[in-house]
Amino acid sequence: MVTESVALSAWPSFTWNGKLINKFLKTGASGITTGGSGLVIGDATASQAHIYSTGGSLTTSFGAPGNDPGELNTPFGVATDDAGNFYVADTGNNRVQMYDSAYDVINIIGSYGFVAGQMYNPKDMDVDAAGKVFVVDQYNNRMQIYEAP
Protein backbone atom coordinates (compact mmCIF):
# COMPACT_ATOMS: atom_id res chain seq x y z
CA MET A 1 0.00 0.00 0.00
CA VAL A 2 1.43 3.39 -1.00
CA THR A 3 1.34 5.83 1.90
CA GLU A 4 3.10 8.79 0.32
CA SER A 5 3.80 10.00 -3.18
CA VAL A 6 6.51 12.52 -4.01
CA ALA A 7 6.25 14.50 -7.22
CA LEU A 8 9.41 14.61 -9.33
CA SER A 9 9.43 18.38 -8.97
CA ALA A 10 10.19 17.88 -5.24
CA TRP A 11 13.64 16.61 -6.30
CA PRO A 12 14.39 18.76 -9.36
CA SER A 13 18.08 17.77 -9.47
CA PHE A 14 17.29 14.10 -9.79
CA THR A 15 15.44 13.44 -13.02
CA TRP A 16 15.10 10.16 -14.87
CA ASN A 17 17.80 11.16 -17.35
CA GLY A 18 19.71 13.61 -15.12
CA LYS A 19 23.43 13.90 -14.63
CA LEU A 20 23.38 12.61 -11.07
CA ILE A 21 21.50 9.41 -11.89
CA ASN A 22 23.80 8.65 -14.81
CA LYS A 23 26.90 9.11 -12.65
CA PHE A 24 25.68 6.51 -10.17
CA LEU A 25 24.99 3.99 -12.87
CA LYS A 26 28.62 4.26 -13.98
CA THR A 27 30.21 3.91 -10.53
CA GLY A 28 28.63 0.84 -9.01
CA ALA A 29 25.66 2.28 -7.16
CA SER A 30 24.17 -0.54 -5.15
CA GLY A 31 21.73 1.03 -2.71
CA ILE A 32 19.97 4.33 -2.11
CA THR A 33 17.99 6.00 0.65
CA THR A 34 17.21 9.51 1.77
CA GLY A 35 18.88 10.72 4.91
CA GLY A 36 19.46 14.08 6.53
CA SER A 37 19.29 16.64 3.74
CA GLY A 38 20.20 14.43 0.81
CA LEU A 39 20.71 10.99 -0.66
CA VAL A 40 22.84 8.20 0.74
CA ILE A 41 24.27 5.91 -1.94
CA GLY A 42 26.00 2.56 -1.42
CA ASP A 43 28.88 2.13 -3.88
CA ALA A 44 29.86 -1.53 -4.33
CA THR A 45 32.72 -0.69 -6.70
CA ALA A 46 34.50 1.82 -4.44
CA SER A 47 33.49 0.03 -1.21
CA GLN A 48 32.17 3.31 0.20
CA ALA A 49 28.96 5.14 0.93
CA HIS A 50 28.41 8.60 -0.52
CA ILE A 51 26.13 11.40 0.61
CA TYR A 52 24.84 13.84 -1.99
CA SER A 53 22.94 17.06 -1.36
CA THR A 54 19.50 17.46 -2.86
CA GLY A 55 21.18 19.82 -5.32
CA GLY A 56 23.35 16.97 -6.62
CA SER A 57 26.69 17.83 -5.02
CA LEU A 58 28.81 15.22 -3.29
CA THR A 59 28.79 16.15 0.41
CA THR A 60 30.97 13.38 1.81
CA SER A 61 32.02 9.77 1.43
CA PHE A 62 32.77 7.32 4.18
CA GLY A 63 34.18 3.82 4.41
CA ALA A 64 37.17 2.40 2.56
CA PRO A 65 37.94 -1.03 1.13
CA GLY A 66 38.74 -3.58 3.84
CA ASN A 67 37.37 -5.68 6.68
CA ASP A 68 38.18 -3.67 9.81
CA PRO A 69 35.44 -1.67 11.58
CA GLY A 70 34.51 1.26 9.36
CA GLU A 71 35.87 -0.43 6.25
CA LEU A 72 33.54 -1.93 3.67
CA ASN A 73 33.62 -4.79 1.18
CA THR A 74 31.10 -4.49 -1.65
CA PRO A 75 28.40 -2.61 0.29
CA PHE A 76 24.87 -2.79 -1.03
CA GLY A 77 21.87 -1.55 0.94
CA VAL A 78 21.91 1.66 2.95
CA ALA A 79 19.44 2.99 5.51
CA THR A 80 19.06 5.75 8.07
CA ASP A 81 17.25 6.00 11.38
CA ASP A 82 15.38 8.81 13.11
CA ALA A 83 18.46 9.65 15.21
CA GLY A 84 20.53 10.47 12.10
CA ASN A 85 22.59 7.27 12.06
CA PHE A 86 23.57 5.48 8.85
CA TYR A 87 23.43 1.73 8.26
CA VAL A 88 25.38 -0.01 5.50
CA ALA A 89 24.91 -3.63 4.40
CA ASP A 90 28.60 -4.56 4.30
CA THR A 91 27.82 -7.47 2.00
CA GLY A 92 31.33 -8.84 1.39
CA ASN A 93 32.10 -8.78 5.12
CA ASN A 94 28.75 -10.41 6.02
CA ARG A 95 27.64 -7.72 8.46
CA VAL A 96 25.77 -4.45 8.82
CA GLN A 97 27.72 -1.46 10.07
CA MET A 98 26.07 1.41 11.91
CA TYR A 99 27.69 4.86 11.65
CA ASP A 100 26.83 7.97 13.63
CA SER A 101 26.33 11.40 12.05
CA ALA A 102 30.12 11.98 12.22
CA TYR A 103 30.58 8.75 10.15
CA ASP A 104 32.23 6.84 13.00
CA VAL A 105 31.25 3.18 13.45
CA ILE A 106 29.15 2.79 16.58
CA ASN A 107 27.86 -0.75 16.11
CA ILE A 108 28.44 -3.85 14.00
CA ILE A 109 25.54 -6.25 13.53
CA GLY A 110 26.14 -9.88 12.56
CA SER A 111 29.08 -11.90 11.30
CA TYR A 112 29.61 -14.64 8.71
CA GLY A 113 27.62 -17.79 9.31
CA PHE A 114 24.40 -19.71 9.05
CA VAL A 115 22.79 -19.62 12.50
CA ALA A 116 20.51 -16.92 13.89
CA GLY A 117 22.39 -13.66 14.29
CA GLN A 118 24.91 -14.53 11.59
CA MET A 119 24.70 -13.53 7.93
CA TYR A 120 25.77 -14.76 4.54
CA ASN A 121 25.64 -11.93 2.00
CA PRO A 122 23.37 -9.32 3.60
CA LYS A 123 21.93 -7.34 0.69
CA ASP A 124 19.65 -4.71 2.15
CA MET A 125 18.12 -3.50 5.37
CA ASP A 126 15.68 -1.04 6.83
CA VAL A 127 15.21 0.48 10.27
CA ASP A 128 11.81 1.07 11.83
CA ALA A 129 10.78 3.91 14.15
CA ALA A 130 11.63 1.81 17.22
CA GLY A 131 15.16 1.22 15.91
CA LYS A 132 14.74 -2.44 14.94
CA VAL A 133 16.97 -3.38 12.01
CA PHE A 134 15.45 -5.67 9.34
CA VAL A 135 18.17 -7.38 7.27
CA VAL A 136 17.77 -9.32 4.02
CA ASP A 137 20.20 -12.23 4.55
CA GLN A 138 20.40 -13.30 0.90
CA TYR A 139 22.26 -16.62 0.82
CA ASN A 140 20.70 -17.84 4.07
CA ASN A 141 17.32 -17.25 2.38
CA ARG A 142 15.84 -15.26 5.24
CA MET A 143 15.21 -11.90 6.78
CA GLN A 144 16.56 -11.30 10.27
CA ILE A 145 15.30 -8.73 12.76
CA TYR A 146 17.73 -7.18 15.21
CA GLU A 147 16.69 -5.22 18.27
CA ALA A 148 17.67 -1.56 18.47
CA PRO A 149 21.37 -1.26 19.36
Per the model's pLDDT, the better-predicted residue between 54 and 1 turns out to be 54
| Residue 104, CB-side half-sphere exposure with 13 Å CA sphere | 2
Among 34-38, 49-53, 90-94, 118-122, the range scoring the smallest mean pLDDT is 34-38
Mean pLDDT of the chain: 83
Give 65-77 pLDDT, tens digit per residue. Answer: 999 999 999 999 9
Pairwise CA distance, residues 130 & 111, whole Å: 23
Q: What percent of the chain has pLDDT over 70?
A: 81
**Contact partners, residue 107, CB within 8 Å, separation at least 6:** 97, 98, 149
Number of residues written out for the chain = 149
Domains and CATH numbers, the chain: 32-146 (2.120.10.30)
Q: Which of 67, 18, 66 is nearest to 39 (CA)?
A: 18
| Integer CA distances (angstroms), 123 to 13, 60, 140, in order | 27, 23, 11
Strand 29-35 versus strand 38-43 pairing type: antiparallel
pLDDT score of 106 more than 80 = yes
Residue 4 is predicted with a pLDDT of 36
Give 20-65 pLDDT, tens digit per residue. Answer: 554 554 567 788 888 767 889 899 999 999 998 877 788 899 999 9
Residue 54 is predicted with a pLDDT of 74
**Contact partners, residue 145, CB within 8 Å, separation at least 6:** 132, 133, 134, 135
Pairwise CA distance, residues 21 & 30, whole Å: 12
